[in-house]
Chains A and B, each alone.
Chain A
Amino acid sequence: MDNRENELSEIRQKLKVLLIDNLNLQDVTVEQIQDDAPLFGSNIGLDSLDAVEIVVILQRHFGVEIKDMDVGRRVFQSVNSLAEYIYEKTHA
């Protein structure tokens, strides 16, 4: 359990940095992105172009594929759901 939680924590951290850099989230710091905050709501305010960009981030930096944007919609809810999906796919 500890290992899993450590790894998830690392994934979440890495994700936040990647989101800020690749999505050009100016004036947003890692601390400001809460793990369970809705990424596509009014809080961080990501849009449809960011969604397909996140697909590329997962591919390049975690080796995880999203074949179907319907899966994407479910998985991209928050940093938590993204991290869980990555962990799941890389420990399959």
Chain B
Amino acid sequence: MSDLVAITGLGVISAAGADVALSLRTLQTAARPALVPCPVADLPVPLPMFAVTGALPSVDRTFHLAMTAVRQALDDAGLNPMPPGFRLGVCLGTTVACQLNDVAFYADYRKTGNPALGTAERFAWGSLSERVSRAVRADGPVMTVVNACSSGTDAMGVAMSWLRAGLCDAVLAGGADELSAIPASGFFALSVTSPEPCRPFDRERQGLNLGEGAGVAVLERASSAVGRVRAVSLIAAGFGAASDGYHLTAPHPEGFGLELAVRAALKDAGIEAEAIDFVNAHGTATKENDRIEGSVLSRVFGPGVRAVSTKGYTGHTLGAAGGIEAVFTALALREGWISPSIGFATRDEAIPFAPLTEVTPVVRSHAISTSLAFGGNNAAFVIARPGGRR
């Protein structure tokens, strides 16, 4: 029991909902959240994006998104307040908050050579994880993962490494990112954005929609959870990551790194592919990602693989994606149903399967979430529901 890592708390905010309950409602009714025309950059096509509605500040937004999910997760885990002497690590992923990418600041510097230093001061307060750690008075290891699109999933792997090594009792693990001009401009320049709501795995898919949000899970040593008299109903069972070593932006054409990562995660979880009930795929809806990921998933899990992409509900939230998707995967196991993969209508012959398009009961005890990142890192996270077979 002491080696097991439990998931004792969940928190999430995205266009799909400001908390777990609201998100579940969206996922169960297969309701596509309203997209907005890109609110952060000046693009000729009004690129649809998934924005979080509600009263969150636009300044320092990634931190506020993260803290929203963090507070939910800590409350859910019964760690508000924490017991005395409790060691809580913080490992969050991001792509926006790690960069001094305030366009106005740089424009000011360029023009005057003497910019207002507000942005730089805020940046100097600390990295995302450092600030979250201070805000919740945590006393464990701290790390901000900047692995692009797989950051949130990689954060789960770091958390599991820390916990298995006994470095702390629990970890706030996940990711957060706000909609931002720089990735909006950059992904548009790469020609991978879609002018319409995204259609993961669909034959007519045209690319991704950006989104924002945060997904945070409390990963905790099972012995610690039991000691706090918390039921252990979800397990962080395994993690694997591998590098394509291929190209700066394009994934390996046969998904070499993804297959290594998935198989490593299954091995780490001590299971065979058959034990996996469903896959929460990366499924960004770009031509390349879905084709390559699709072929790897059916190679490993068979052409009958039950896979969904939840990016139809959230958009591609970059550093937050792995965190949000870990939370959604955990929720599916906990609630006993898988949400439909919205945006899908027609099977692409180049992809050996079609994703699930209806609410589907979970049958087996394990599920896996996959992420493929810019630069070729691939990560996979296995979650289990003990005693789950119905």
Q: Do chains A and B touch in the complex (CB under 8 A)?
A: yes
Q: Which residues of A contact B (CB under 8 A)?
A: 47-49, 52, 55-56, 69
Structural contact, B247 and A47, CB atoms closer than 8 A = yes
A49 to B288, CA, bound (A): 13
Q: Report the minimum CB–CB distance from A87 to chain B (whole Å).
A: 24
Other than A48-B250, A56-B189, give 4 A-B pairs with Cβ distance below 8 A. A48-B247, A49-B247, A49-B250, A52-B190
Residue of B nearest to A72 (CB): B191
A49 to B190, CA, bound (A): 8
Residues of A within 8 A of B189 (CB): 52, 56
- Nearest 6 pairs between A and B by C-beta? A52-B191, A49-B249, A48-B250, A52-B190, A69-B191, A49-B248
Residues of A within 8 A of B247 (CB): 47-49
Q: Report the minimum CB–CB distance from A53 to chain B (whole Å).
A: 9
CB-CB contacts below 8 Å: B178-194 with A:
189-191
Q: Report the minimum CB–CB distance from A6 to chain B (whole Å).
A: 33
Q: Report the minimum CB–CB distance from B255 to chain A (whole Å).
A: 16
Q: Report the minimum CB–CB distance from B124 to chain A (whole Å).
A: 33
A86 to B295, CA, bound (A): 38
A47 to B249, CA, bound (A): 10
Residues of A within 8 A of B190 (CB): 49, 52
Q: Report the minimum CB–CB distance from A57 to chain B (whole Å).
A: 12
Q: Report the minimum CB–CB distance from A64 to chain B (whole Å).
A: 15
Structural contact, A47 and B191, CB atoms closer than 8 A = no
Residues of B within 8 A of A69 (CB): 191
Query: Which interface residue of B189, B190, B191, B247 has the most chain A CB atoms within 10 A?
Result: B191
Residues of B within 8 A of A52 (CB): 189-191
A56 to B191, CA, bound (A): 11
B211-242 CB contact bits vs A (8 Å, 1 = yes)? 00000000000000000000000000000000
A55 to B190, CA, bound (A): 10
